């Protein structure tokens, strides 16, 4: 009997061992499924986090651009206010464009005696109520032996005057 009893004990032990192996295999299978589920959840969460970071980066760029546009609009508004104040000040002082008249002046190699040439040159000086915007100016002598800066003995030769530009005249009293 001892061999039958030993066989039963061994058989019982083999059954228990088989059940334990099935139980261990089932636990291992559940643990493996849980681990795979956790890995899938982690990958999904990592992708979602990266998408959130990308969206945050885009939002930060848009915010910076919006702040730049807002700052630019503020500067444009300040510039517009300053231009308006400048225009009002110019108008109050009679310097606005509507208070000025413009004439084009062109003298090409005109012959003038020295006193008349002097008057022409002096008339181009800027002063109260007038401004001359010179494009070209030339004053020269006809005779190479004469000096432009020294009066000649006697009558003297005339001067050659070339003058081009715009003369602007105030149409009202300037302060």
In a domain, 58, yes or no: yes
Contact 162, 138 (CB under 8 A): yes
CB < 8 Å & 24+ apart, contacts of 149-155: 151/114
Structural domain count, the chain: 2
Q: Which domain holds residue 117?
A: 97-170
pLDDT in tens, the chain (175 residues): 567 666 666 666 777 778 888 888 999 999 999 999 999 999 999 999 999 999 999 999 999 999 999 999 999 999 999 999 999 998 888 778 888 888 898 988 888 888 888 888 888 887 777 888 889 989 888 877 787 777 777 666 788 999 999 988 888 764 4
In angstroms, rounded to a whole number, what is the distance separating the alpha carbons of residues 113 and 55? 82
Predicted TM-score (pTM) of this structure: 0.45
Same domain, 88 and 105: no
Of 31, 66, 92, the residue at which a domain comes to its end is 92
Of 92, 109, 131, the residue at which a domain comes to its end is 92
Strand partners, 111: 160
């Amino acid at each position: 009997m001892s061999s039958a009893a030993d066989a039963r004990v061994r058989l019982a032990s083999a059954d228990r061992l088989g059940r334990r192996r099935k139980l261990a295999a089932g636990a291992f299978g559940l643990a493996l499924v849980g681990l795979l589920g956790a890995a899938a959840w982690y990958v999904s969460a990592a992708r979602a986090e990266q998408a959130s970071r990308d969206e945050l980066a885009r939002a930060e760029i848009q915010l910076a651009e919006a702040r730049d546009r807002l700052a630019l609009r503020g500067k444009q508004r300040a510039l517009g206010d300053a231009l308006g104040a400048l225009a009002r000040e110019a108008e109050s002082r009679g310097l606005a464009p509507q208070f000025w008249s413009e004439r084009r002046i062109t003298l090409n190699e005109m012959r003038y005696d020295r006193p008349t040439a002097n008057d022409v040159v002096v008339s181009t000086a800027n002063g109260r109520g007038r401004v001359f915007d010179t494009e070209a100016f030339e004053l020269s002598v006809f005779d190479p032996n004469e000096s432009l800066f020294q009066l000649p003995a006697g009558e003297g030769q005339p001067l050659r005057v070339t003058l081009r530009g715009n003369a602007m005249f105030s149409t009202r009293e300037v302060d």
